[in-house]
Chains A and B, each alone.
Chain A
């Protein structure tokens, strides 16, 4: 398990050169879109709806700090989605979006979260798989 995460982190780091995507899965496997939807709508886990809105009629409160997730799977490839979730600063260093799979270069992280990414590699693959289903 640890080896997979290390390999995935290397993969993210390799992207520092400025590519616009992480083409291959962080786990080597495809994610599960059903689990991905649950992560996206959970305000303690994915945190996505704090800033984004999307096609989630059961979620009464959704944020508007960031673009709606509607159509994300049409606008962006799987690899582009993966990079934007893993470390959106690679696209725009001033972005307000947290890096979900980076533990370096952070300041004063609370002890409970020290050294841990916001989402695991598996969770990110689940979210990518779900967002790819958002075609409109």
Chain B
């Protein structure tokens, strides 16, 4: 009897159902895994290609749009003041939708409801420019998504997705980014997967993209069915990833290989 109990315990230790989350003190930005050249590119505003999107976003911020003929600036004033720290708190709960929305959805809600303009398409130049500009106002500030009784169920759903094995290759996010970060998947070092620099310039894309675009890359690699841009599952996963990166510094616009 005792032997069989011991054997069961040994089996339970050998095969944990869930891998452990990375201890707070051991978390590292993807920035830390990059070459010196790529880090310099991110740090130097004159070399960071993402700054071109930020500059476009600044122009859009000031440009009147829609039937209401209003610019973002007409309501929000100087983004340097009004948008400081905002991106660090997204996805944030939205009462109208009864769920958290990400920054892209917030920008589009403003466009439709306030500017009376059509929403910007996912991954369009203008939406990336505006979110890069708003995100830039939080650079250096700690990620701080507020978790309360309204957002907790969505955080838990996002955590569920992170640990769920998916696709023909039957992989979960956690298996690479919690359990095997720092090791090499073919030639690339696996980062911990903290979304601190989005939207960011990816050398592989030769352009700026959102976190959801990056997540779709991984999901396609798992040979799983990608979530649609803006899907609830995706926003929940974003929320979990931002909570997982709580306290880490916003790097927008980041640069990644």
Interfacial residues, chain A to chain B (CB-CB below 8 A): 43, 47, 49-51, 60-65, 92-94, 96, 98-99, 106-113, 116, 118
B167 within 8 A of A: yes
Interfacial residues, chain B to chain A (CB-CB below 8 A): 14-17, 164-171, 175-176, 179-180, 183-187, 190, 220, 223-226
- Give the chain B neighbours of A112 by CB distance below 8 A: 223
Q: Is the CB of B223 within 8 A of A113?
A: yes
- Give the chain A neighbours of B184 by CB distance below 8 A: 61-65
B16 to chain A: closest CB distance in Å? 7
Q: A96-B179, A113-B223 are in contact. Are A106 and B170 (CB under 8 A)?
A: yes
- Give the chain A neighbours of B220 by CB distance below 8 A: 110
Q: Is the CB of A108 within 8 A of B179?
A: no
Contact of B168 among A61, A65, A109 (CB under 8 A): A109
Which residue from chain B places its CB closest to the CB of A47 in the assembled complex?
Answer: B169
Q: Is the CB of B223 within 8 A of A64?
A: no
Q: A65-B180, A94-B16, A96-B179 are in contact. Are A113 and B167 (CB under 8 A)?
A: yes
Write 14 A-B pairs (CB below 8 A) sorted by A numbering: A60-B187, A61-B184, A61-B187, A62-B186, A63-B183, A65-B180, A94-B16, A96-B176, A96-B180, A106-B170, A110-B224, A110-B226, A113-B167, A118-B168
With A and B bound together, what is the CA distance between A62 and B179 in angstroms? 19
- Give the chain A neighbours of B190 by CB distance below 8 A: 65
With A and B bound together, what is the CA distance between A113 and B185 in angstroms? 22
Contact of A110 among B15, B183, B225 (CB under 8 A): B225
Q: Is the CB of A65 within 8 A of B225?
A: no
Q: A50-B185, A92-B15 are in contact. Are A98 and B224 (CB under 8 A)?
A: no
Q: A92-B15, A98-B171 are in contact. Are A65 and B223 (CB under 8 A)?
A: no
With A and B bound together, what is the CA distance between A49 and B225 in angstroms? 24
